[in-house]
């Protein structure tokens, strides 16, 4: 079903988002963490995340509908961190992100993408805090797992789990690799749970 995902629209602010009906799941991650690759791997659609990387769209909230279920959406949130932009602009993006995460009623859960070698950045912690503000579940993909040996990847997973102990009711996590197609079924199961229950 995720293969049918198609670009719907982009919005700069919560007010310009499509109607807040049905259900959606949002993807967030620091720039370069591997968010686009994860979305591509989960939907089997290269063009999707490319859409979000089109210049001018990178700092927009990008919506994709699942074709057979027009009231189910995947949402690609702006990547964060690499752009050398003025502090005031960053504050503006942060404000829109927080607004979306706090107030979007159809939002069922957040897929938070982290490079397994650099987990829990300041940005990641900010997102977790916002999700926690409204008791919204978060599923973490520790991606680029192929960059570590299997033992080291498992250790990294355990370390992140330990650091998130205070949030264990809200947060689940897994290893993922878009390159090796590792963890795709598990991640899709989480999407299913949020979009169908
Ligand atoms: P985004 O900025 O978060 O959307 O990140 P991208 O998906 O564009 O990925 C950033 C870089 O990491 C690119 O060079 C990707 O090829 C690479 N990358 C993404 N996922 C993986 C993965 O699972 N394994 C490896 N080895 N590289 C990855």
Say which CATH number the domain at 73 has.
3.40.50.300
Number of domains within the chain: 1
Give the end-to-end CA distance of the chain in Å, rounded to a whole number: 16
CA of 37 to the centre of ligand 1 (A): 6
What pLDDT does residue 46 have? 79
Average pLDDT on 12-41 reads 94
Report which ligand 1 atom has the smallest distance to the Cα of 31. 2
What pLDDT does residue 73 have? 96
Higher model confidence: residue 43 or residue 78?
43
Averaged pLDDT of the chain: 91
Tell me how far apart the alpha carbons of residues 120 and 93 are, in angstroms, rounded to a whole number.
Answer: 19
- pTM of the predicted protein model: 0.95
What pLDDT does residue 98 have? 94
Report which ligand 1 atom has the smallest distance to the Cα of 39. 7
Is the separation of the CB atoms in 173 and 136 below 8 Å?
Answer: no
Give the domain extent around 15.
Answer: 2-196
Provide the percentage of residues in the chain whose pLDDT is more than 70: 93
């Amino acid at each position: 079903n995720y293969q049918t995902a198609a670009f719907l629209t982009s919005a700069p602010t919560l007010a310009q988002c499509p109607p807040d009906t049905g259900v959606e799941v949002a993807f967030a991650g620091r720039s370069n963490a591997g968010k686009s690759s994860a979305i591509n791997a989960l939907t089997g659609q290269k063009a999707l995340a490319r859409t979000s990387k089109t210049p001018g769209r990178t700092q927009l909230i990008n919506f994709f509908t699942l074709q057979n279920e027009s009231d189910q959406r995947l949402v690609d949130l702006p990547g964060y961190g690499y752009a050398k932009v003025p502090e005031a602009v960053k504050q503006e993006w942060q404000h829109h992100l927080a607004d979306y995460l706090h107030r979007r009623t159809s939002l069922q859960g957040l897929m938070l993408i982290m490079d397994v070698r650099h987990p829990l950045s300041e940005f990641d912690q900010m997102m977790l805090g916002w999700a926690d503000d409204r008791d919204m579940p978060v599923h973490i993909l520790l991606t680029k797992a192929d960059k570590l040996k299997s033992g080291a990847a498992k250790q990294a997973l355990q370390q992140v789990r330990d650091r998130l102990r205070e949030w264990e009711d809200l947060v689940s996590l897994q290893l993922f690799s878009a390159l090796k197609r590792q963890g795709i079924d598990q991640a899709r199961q989480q999407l299913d749970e949020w979009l169908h229950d």
